[in-house]
Amino acid sequence: MAAMYIATPFLGSLTTYKAVETFTSFYYNLIVWNDLRAKELVEEYNESWCLWILNKACKLLYQVTRQKRFLAGSVIKFMNAQVSLRLLWILTHCQPVRDNVAKRNVLFGTLDTWLIYKLTNGAHHITDVSHASSTGLYDPFTLGWAQWALSLFRIPVSILPKVLATWHGREDIRVDSEHLGREIPIRASITDQSASMYGLSCVKKGDIRTLLCPFVSDN
């Protein structure tokens, strides 16, 4: 095996775990994308003055600057499928997480982050753009974590993974030899629709992949 590529099906799933002591310790079980425990928080923030002001301010800024970033901000709404408010729910309701955030002993991640963190024995706390974009905390226009969202939800930046390109090609991110007998580089990470497209070898112009589940998705 020359290299490893991580592909995950559960877009928007999240977990929290310990940064030190042992990399196998969870604070909270994996919360999947269709979990509704943060439904009341979603409704509260969507009806808040903070979001109303943000939408109106972005609308005004778009009229002045014509930047698409502000156009997106003028219509933004929060959803249960996004990670942001489910993460806030954990930070609010899980006492061990609250106690350890200040000690910098809490890490947050989507499924790929946890897998890479475990495979590298805690050496790399990272994610890729396809996973980060599902969180509601990532700004695709600046290609970084959205400071306005972190401030709004009071989410500490210290718990967030570093965001890399889906195909980063780095040689220093490697599976620890204790897992597979030797070190193997992890060169890419991808999720959901894009992952299934590559999984079905849709790599040439004109290739198409159709998904039938509760909806129809074509890539």
How far apart (Å, rounded) are the C-alpha atoms in residues 134 and 142? 15
pLDDT band at 34 (very low <50, low <70, confident <90, very high): confident
How far apart (Å, rounded) are the C-alpha atoms in residues 32 and 50? 27
DSSP secondary structure code for residue 10 in this structure: -
Task: Please report the DSSP string for 26-67 in residue order.
Answer: EEEEEE-TT--TTHHHHHHHHTSHHHHHHHHHHHHHHHHH--
Average confidence (pLDDT) over 137-161? 93
Residue 213: the pLDDT is 58
Q: What are phi and psi of 209, to 5 degrees?
A: -130, 130
pLDDT band at 139 (very low <50, low <70, confident <90, very high): very high
Average confidence (pLDDT) over 141-147? 94
Q: Is the pLDDT of residue 164 over 80?
A: yes
Q: Contact 17/27 with Cβ under 8 angstroms?
A: yes
Structure-model confidence comparison of residues 196 and 156, the more confident one: 156
pLDDT band at 1 (very low <50, low <70, confident <90, very high): low
Q: Is the pLDDT of residue 149 over 90?
A: yes
Residue 50: the pLDDT is 94
Interacting residues of 167 by C-beta distance below 8 A, sequence separation 6+:
187, 188
Residue 68: the pLDDT is 94
Beta bridge partners of 185: 174
Average confidence (pLDDT) over 17-43? 76
Q: How many CB atoms lie within 10 A of CB 89?
A: 19
Residue 217: the pLDDT is 52
Residue 96: the pLDDT is 87
DSSP secondary structure code for residue 167 in this structure: B
Q: Contact 45/78 with Cβ under 8 angstroms?
A: yes
- Residue 77's alpha-carbon distances to 48, 81, 120, in angstroms, are 11, 12, 36
Q: Is the pLDDT of residue 21 over 50?
A: no
pLDDT band at 44 (very low <50, low <70, confident <90, very high): very high
Nearest residue to 17 (alpha-carbon basis) of 125, 166, 92, 120: 125
The structural domains of the chain, ordered by start, are 4-38+81-218 (3.30.420.40), 39-79 (no CATH)
Query: pLDDT (tens digit, 9 = 90+) per residue, 4-19?
Result: 767 776 556 766 666 5
Query: pLDDT (tens digit, 9 = 90+) per residue, 187-212?
Result: 888 877 777 777 777 777 887 767 66
Residue 22: the pLDDT is 45
- The C-alpha angle 110, 92, 132, rounded to 5 degrees, equals 20
Query: pLDDT (tens digit, 9 = 90+) per residue, 69-116?
Result: 999 999 999 998 888 999 999 999 888 888 888 888 889 988 889 889
Average confidence (pLDDT) over 163-191? 87
